[in-house]
Structure formats: structure tokens, C-alpha cells
Amino acid sequence: MHPASPNARLASGTRLALIGAIVNVVLAMIKIASGILGNSYALIADGVESTLDIFGSLLVWAGLRLAALPPDDMHPYGHGKAETLAAIAVGVLLLGTSVLLAIQSIREILTPHHAPEPFTLGVLLGVIIIKELLFRKVLRHSNELGSMALESDAWHHRSDAITSVAAFLGITVALVGGPGFEAADDYGALIACAVIAFNGIRVLGPALNEAMDTDPGTHIHDAVRTAAATVAGVEGIEKCKIRKMGVEFYVDLHVFVQGDLPVRDGHAIAHAVKDAIRERMPSVADVLVHIEPFLDGQQ
């Protein structure tokens, strides 16, 4: 169930994004330092990815903060699209990160170096646990909010967990295999890059659709139509258009009423339809109702 106020929902999301940024700062420093001391480029690459996670979480935090601002003269529909733009930025960041790390991973594969130190495995195991727990918490919260930006932040955490798993496996192969397997952790980093790119595409696609006002789906339409149909005087629904703005929806609805109804009564029905929809669906910010005359014999 959504909290009553959209601002309260967004505020809880911004707090979670800020916590994620703080966690990423700590983990990035630990991983980069451990990678340097432990001769593991996979761990260094993982640390770089965590560093970029910091910017991703801050982008989400800023997007949610801006999305919570009320409508003004320049933005009559509010600032909800800032949340969508933050999700797009995070998706692009993930894709860019995967390309840069892949290039450096190939360079490391071609450069002879020492095998990683065993203690790096313990560092990675701790990181994997922390990041997976953070992913699940943020994703659950994003589903409750309907926040695309927060969902992108969750998948950023999952990407970090996966890169750590790949690094863990690569280092394990390098240690167990011995001489000749020193580059195994670099191959692990390369595999992780493909996973990061996949998650970038997974985040970017829905965010771009939302930016283009893609229809949110039949379940939203059905809920709107059902709520409108409960209002006395509504003879039918002609058109229903819905778009998502941040964590809220805006509805344009054409409603049939009796053609000989006075304007005052038609206006009252329109308000009743809006109230019925918003009462049933708190995520709907506004409903624009257009009254159409229903003629005898009309289907």
C-alpha cells in the first residue's frame, strides 16, 4: 500500500538512495585498496564500478528530490520526469562503465602480472553479501513506490554484486590453477562487464519508454475504468489515456452521460469520476474528464 502523500513516498526513496551512496563510498575504498595490495585487477575494476555507483545513487537521490517539488508556472504537471531522467542517466552510466572496464580488462589479460592474494576472496565475499541485501531492499522499495529511478539504483547494486561474484570466481581459479592462470581474475572482470552492460540496457529501456509517455499497461486502464464506472450517471467510457510522471499517473478520460443532462449535472459527474479514481488509486495525481453525450441506442 502506498503512503498517503507522494512527497512522503519520494522522501523515503531519497533516503534509501543516499544510504546506497554512503555504502558505495565505503565499499569502493575497500575494494580498490584491497585490489592494489592483493594484485587483483578484477577487484580494482569492481572498486571502480562501485565508485561509479556512488554517482548513480547520487543521481537517483537528486532526481527523486527534484521530482518531489510541487507544480509551478513553468512545470504545471510537476517535476516527476526528473525521476525518469535520473533512471536514464544511471542506465547510460552502466553502459559506459561496462565499455571502459572491458577495455582495461583486455589490457590486463595481455599484460603478465602476479597472481592475486588469497585475502581478496574474503573482501569480495563480504561485498557480495552487503550488495545483494541492498539490492533486495531497494528493489522492494522501488516496487512499492513505482519509482523507475530507484529501480535503476537497485539494479546498479545487483550489477556490483555480480561483478564481485565474477571477481571471486576469477581469483579462485587463479589461486587454484597456479602458474599460468594469473589472468583468470581479468577474465572474470571481462565477464562482469557483459553483465553490467545487460543491466544497463535493462534499466535504460523502460526509462526511455516512460520518458516517451508509453502506455503504462492494461492493469492501470482497467482500474481507472472500473472506478469511473461506479459513479452514478456514467453511461460508459469512450477514451482513456494514461501517462506516468515520476511515481504518479495522469489520466485523460472521456465519459458518456445522458445527452439531455444539464451542464451543472454533467460537471458534478465529472468531479465524482475524478474523486472515485483518485480514492481507489492514490498514485493518480490528476484526472481530466471530458463529458460526451450518450444518445439513445448508442453502444
**Residue 48: pLDDT over 90:** no
pLDDT at 59 exceeding the cut of 70 = yes
DSSP state, residue 73? S
Q: Where are the beta strands (DSSP E) in the chain?
A: 236-245, 248-258, 284-294
CA distance 21 to 157: 10
Give 214-254 pLDDT, tens digit per residue. Answer: 888 888 999 999 999 999 999 999 889 999 887 789 999 99
Q: Bridge-partner residues for 244, per DSSP? A: 249
pLDDT digits (tens, 9 = 90+) for 117-147: 889 889 889 989 998 998 998 888 888 777 7
CA distance 58 to 152: 12
Q: How confident is the model at residue 289 (pLDDT cuts 50, 70, 90)?
A: very high
Q: Which residues contact 47 (CB under 8 A, 6 or more apart)?
A: 27, 28, 29, 30, 31, 32, 33, 34, 35
Lowest mean per-residue pLDDT among 26-40, 41-55, 89-103: 41-55
Query: Among the listed ranges 19-23, 32-36, 107-111, which one has the minimum average pLDDT value?
Result: 107-111
Its CATH architecture, for the domain 218-294, is 2-Layer Sandwich (3.30)
Which class does domain 6-211 fall in? mainly alpha
Q: Three-class SS of residue 228?
A: helix
**Residue 164 CB burial class (10 angstroms; 0-12, 13-18, ≥19):** buried
Please determine, for residue 296, whether its predicted confidence score (pLDDT) is greater than 70.
Answer: no
pLDDT at residue 1 in the model: 40
pLDDT (tens digit, 9 = 90+) per residue, 72-116?
Answer: 888 888 888 888 888 898 889 888 888 888 887 788 788 776 777
Per-residue model confidence (pLDDT) at position 2: 45
Q: Which of 12-21, 82-91, 270-279 has the lowest mean pLDDT?
A: 12-21
CB proximity list for 142: less than 8 A, separation 6 or greater: 13, 148, 150, 151, 153, 154
Could you tell me if 9 and 80 are in contact, meaning their C-beta atoms sit under 8 angstroms apart?
no
Q: Could you read off the pLDDT of 151-172 as tens digits, one per residue?
A: 878 887 887 788 788 888 888 8
**Per-residue DSSP letter, 72:** -
Cell of 68: 518531489
Q: How far apart are CA 31 and CA 39, in angstroms?
A: 12
Residue 69 CB contacts under 8 Å (≥ 6 apart), including other chains: 75, 78, 79
Is the pLDDT at 191 greater than 70? The verdict is yes
**299: helix, coil or strand?**
coil
The mean pLDDT of the chain is: 83
Question: How far is the C-alpha of 222 from the C-alpha of 288, rounded, in Å?
Answer: 17
Q: Which of 45, 39, 84 is nearest to 66 (CA)?
A: 84
pLDDT of the residue at 175? 83
Cβ contact 237:256 at 8 Å: yes
Q: What is the C-alpha separation between 67 and 80, in angstroms, rounded?
A: 4
pLDDT of residue 3: 45
pLDDT of residue 125: 92
- DSSP code of residue 251: E
Domain ranges of the chain: 6-211, 218-294
pLDDT grade for 5, boundaries at 50, 70 and 90: low
191 against 263, higher pLDDT? 263
| CB contact burial 69-105 (16+ within 10 A = b; e otherwise) | eeeeeeeeebbbbbbbbbbbbbbebbbebbeebbebb
DSSP H or E stretch at residue 199 = helix 184-211
Examine the pLDDT at 299 and tell me if it is beyond 60. no
